[in-house]
Structure 1
C-alpha cells in the first residue's frame, strides 16, 4: 500500500492527477474535491495493490492506518461523491459504518447543522493499547453505528460534547445451547430390572420376619 499527501488549487487538476495514477476521474469526483480544494484541505491518496492478475474483482485486506493532523474541531470525513441518480432514488442494501471516537468525555455527532442519525453502541472509559493511544486521561471511547440506506453524505460529521455523560453499554448476550444426552434403552431396562429385584428382595425379607 502506497500513500501520497496532496494539496491543490484546482479540483480539476487534482482529479486529473488522480486519474493518471489509476483512480477513477469523473465529474462527480471533481465536484466532490472542489470543497476540499477551496478549504485548503490536504488529500491523502492510497494505492492498494494486489498480486492477482486476472479477474474483475479482487479480495484484499489492509492494516489500520493512522492519520495525525490538527483541526479546530473533531470530525469524520463523511462526504462522498454523489453519483447519479441521487441517493434518495436508490434502493440500496444497508452499509454499516462504525466510528470509534476517543476523548476525555462522551461526544455526539452532527451532520452539518443537523443531528447525525447514528446510534451509540458504547460509551465508557477503556484501557487502550499504547500503540493506539498514549494518554491514560483520554480514554472515553464512544462507538457510533450508522446503517442509513441510502446514505445522504453531503456534509462532514462533526463531534461536540454530549449533554448526557452516562455510560452506555449493551446488555450481555445470553446464548442458550440445549445439550442433548442420549441414554440407551438397554441401560434404562437394566436399571428397572435391578430396582425391581431390590424391592422384591426387601419385600421377601419383610414377609419372613
Structure 2
C-alpha cells in the first residue's frame, strides 16, 4: 500500500499503504508493518491507517489523494488489536492414524484552484503530524508546491499524480513535525474521512515502489465486499456489532454494525498497481480461515491406533493358526481312538 518514490532519493517501503511515504535522506523509510481499516456507509468513507516504521529520517512526509476534501484525525491502536482478535483463524487439530513423515501443511470524490494553481484548503497539527489539505489543477504545479514546502518530491511523482489531477481529486499532505525526532516505531493511526459515492482505496502510487508491496485491509461496509484488482485473498468475512468490541471509538466507527471483510496479499509486484482498488458487494456468506495443526496420533487403550491396525492381521493369523492346529489335533485324536468292544 505505501509507495516510496522519487528518483532514488526516496527509498521504497517493504510494506504497504495508500499514498506515498517519502523522505529526503539517504536512510529512507522502511514500513515494517501496516494495516488499514476502510469504513464505507454508502455516502462517506473513512480510512484508518496503522504504520510501524524503521527510519532515522526527521523529515518524512506522506501524500494521499482522495476523491473529495478529507478531514484527518487520530485513531487508536487498540482498534486494530480488537479486529485482529475478531478475525483470528480458527485452529483445528488434525489427529492422524499414522506418523507424518513430511512437513505439516496449513489450509487454507472541491474544485482545484484556477489556472492550475495549488489551493491550500486547510492546515492542522495532530500529535506529531503537520497536516495540509490541498487542491490542484496541474500535477506539476502540485509537485512543485510540495517540493517548495519541504516535501522533497521529484518529477516522477508528478507524472504518477496526473490521473488524480485529471479527476479533480484533492490531496492530504502529512509531515512529521521537525521537533518530533526520527520517524521510527509504531505511529499513531491516522483517520482520514471523505465523501464518496463508491468506496475506493487510493493505491496507484505504489507503482513507484522498487520492491514488492503488501496489502492488508479490514473493510467495514453494509455487506460483504469483493476487491477488484491485485488478486487479494479473503481471510475473514462476518457481521460485526458494536457489542463485540470494547473501544468506544471503534464502536462509533462501526455505527449500528457492519459486515467485516478482511483481505490480504503480500509480495505484489509494483507493476501490478495500475489503478486504485475498488469494491463491490457480494452475498453475505460468512467465512473464517481455518489453520490445521498436527494434533498427534489417534490412540486406543493408551497405544497409537496404527499399532492396533498393524497388529490386527497378526492376531487374525495367530487365531487362524490356533484353530487349524486345534482342528488337526482333534482329527488325529479321533482317528487314533480304539472302539470299545460290544
Partners of 1:7 and 1:133 in 2: CA distance: 32
Partners of 1:175 and 1:5 in 2: CA distance: 53
Which residues in structure 2 correspond to 1:96-111 (within 5 Å)?
A: 96-111=214-229
Aligned partner (choices 65, 70, 74) of residue 190 of structure 2: 65
Partners of 2:250 and 2:134 in 1: CA distance: 25
Return the TM-score normalized by structure 2.
Answer: 0.42
Return the TM-score normalized by structure 1.
Answer: 0.67
1:108-162 Cα distance to aligned partner (Å, 9 max, x none)? 0113xxxx40001111122344313435533211111021431311201110102
* Residue in 2 that maps onto 1:75: 200
Q: State whether residues 28 and 81 of structure 1, in contact with CA within 8 Å, keep that contact through their aligned partners in structure 2.
A: no
Alpha-carbon distance change, 100 to 81 in structure 1, aligned in 2, over 3 angstroms: closer
Matched, 1:34 2:153: no
* Residue in 1 that maps onto 2:173: 45
Partners of 1:30 and 1:78 in 2: CA distance: 15
Aligned partner (choices 284, 287, 301) of residue 165 of structure 1: 284
Q: State whether residues 79 and 153 of structure 1, in contact with CA within 8 Å, keep that contact through their aligned partners in structure 2.
A: yes
Alpha-carbon distance change, 173 to 2 in structure 1, aligned in 2, over 3 angstroms: farther
The farther-off stretch of 18-27 and 98-107 is 18-27
Unaligned runs of 5+ in 2: 1-128, 296-342
Unaligned runs of 5+ in 1: 53-57, 177-209
List structure 1 segments (4+ residues) > 4 angstroms apart after TM superposition: 172-176
Q: State whether residues 228 and 278 of structure 2, in contact with CA within 8 Å, keep that contact through their aligned partners in structure 1.
A: yes
Q: Give the drift of 1:19.
A: 0.8
* Residue in 1 that maps onto 2:234: 120
Higher strand share: 2
Answer 1 or 2: higher relative contact order, Cα 8 Å, separation at least 6. 2
* Residue in 2 that maps onto 1:204: none
Q: Give the drift of 1:95.
A: 3.1
